[in-house]
Amino acid sequence: MRQKIVAGNWKCNTNLQEGVELAKAVDTLVANEGADDVVVVLGTPFTHITKVVETVNTDRIGVAAQNCAAEAKGAYTGEVSAEMVKSTGAEYVILGHSERREYYGETSETLNKKVALALENGLTPIYCCGEALEIREAGTQNEFVKKQLDETVFQLSANDFKKIVIAYEPIWAIGTGVTASSEQAQEIHAFIRSAIAEKFGNEIAEETSILYGGSCKPTNAKELFANKDVDGGLIGGAALKAEDFIGIINGF
Ligand code: 13P
């Protein structure tokens, strides 16, 4: 079912104690004033997941990893498998973030393996796509994003595609303070939904949650979320302050 989702991506921020404090603060605010129809997710560093799962009310807040290994298990020093993530109580995994594509060389091929393992292990992938500034300036963002999807999650069966969440994150808006305008967000979200419809049919397209990410804040969330094809947000910087995060959750 198409859900309203606000997911925090803490990236490489907070030590364990700070992360637990943040999770506690979010948990309290969500319990007291969080809109009931919004699914709330915390994407924490791997080291924090188990503690955060213990700290929050998991009937109300889901926990996400920010990555998982492209292999199921074995001699891959430093990797954390989808099965390991699932065994912590996490329910989601953020995959294909532009920072991982750019700084860690993640390709469509690697991402296909990660998505498959996430799904096999019952995790919900929050699959990111989005273009760089040069592409936006050239006006070819739709083609670029379509190619990212064609090479990866559009290869899934319809049954598997139904289990994923899409996050559109224009790279030029990430951590820059520049947000896509409400019109720009709606336009490309509608395009993504139409591409899903073309590939998997209208019913699946209507049921897919498509989140916006990139300098989303309490002050702009309302306008972004008011668009009919924007089903929530993937939040970086503003997810590190419980008050800002709840402001975004209540932006619907
Ligand atoms: P900011 O909200 O800090 O721009 O980050 C967005 C993001 O990359 C979430 O995954």
Q: What is the pLDDT of residues 107-121, one digit of tens each?
A: 999 999 999 999 999
CA torsion sign, 1 to 146 to 9 to 251?
Answer: negative
Q: What is the mean pLDDT of residues 154-183?
A: 95
Both tokens of 207, joined, read: 């049921």
Q: How far is CA 226 from the centre of its chain?
A: 19
Task: Please report which confidence band the pLDDT of residue 1 belongs to, taking 50, 70 and 90 as the band edges.
Answer: confident
Q: At residue 242, does pLDDT exceed 90?
A: yes
CATH number for the domain including 22?
Answer: 3.20.20.70
Residues 6+ apart with CB under 8 A from 76: 69
Number of domains in the chain: 1
Q: Give residue 157's pLDDT.
A: 98
- DSSP letter, residue 163: T
Q: What is the mean pLDDT of residues 162-184?
A: 95
Q: Ligand 1 centroid to 64 CA: how many Å?
A: 15
Residues 6+ apart with CB under 8 A from 239: 8, 9, 10, 42, 43, 245, 248
Task: Please report which confidence band the pLDDT of residue 238 belongs to, taking 50, 70 and 90 as the band edges.
Answer: very high
Task: Count other Cβ atoms within 10 Å, centred on residue 228.
Answer: 9
Q: Ligand 1 centroid to 87 CA: how many Å?
A: 26
Q: What is the mean pLDDT of residues 214-220?
A: 97
Assess whether the C-beta atom of 235 lies below 6 angstroms from ligand 1.
Answer: yes
Q: What is the mean pLDDT of residues 39-62?
A: 98
Task: Please report which confidence band the pLDDT of residue 139 belongs to, taking 50, 70 and 90 as the band edges.
Answer: very high
Q: Give residue 11's pLDDT.
A: 98
Residues 6+ apart with CB under 8 A from 53: 63, 88, 89, 90
Q: Which of 97, 99, 106, 131 is catalytic?
A: 97
Contact between residue 90 and residue 63 where contact means Cβ atoms under 8 Å apart: yes
Identify whether 97 is a catalytic site residue.
yes
Q: Ligand 1 centroid to 75 CA: how many Å?
A: 32
Q: At residue 177, does pLDDT exceed 90?
A: no
Identify whether 131 is a catalytic site residue.
no
The C-alpha angle 187, 193, 199, rounded to 5 degrees, equals: 140
Q: Give residue 213's pLDDT.
A: 97
Q: What is the pLDDT of residues 28-39, one digit of tens each?
A: 999 999 999 999
| Average confidence score pLDDT of the chain | 97
Q: How far apart are CA 229 and CA 209, in angstroms?
A: 8
Q: At residue 178, does pLDDT exceed 90?
A: no
Q: At residue 194, does pLDDT exceed 90?
A: yes
Q: What is the mean pLDDT of residues 193-201?
A: 98
Q: Give residue 71's pLDDT.
A: 98
Domain that holds residue 173: 4-249
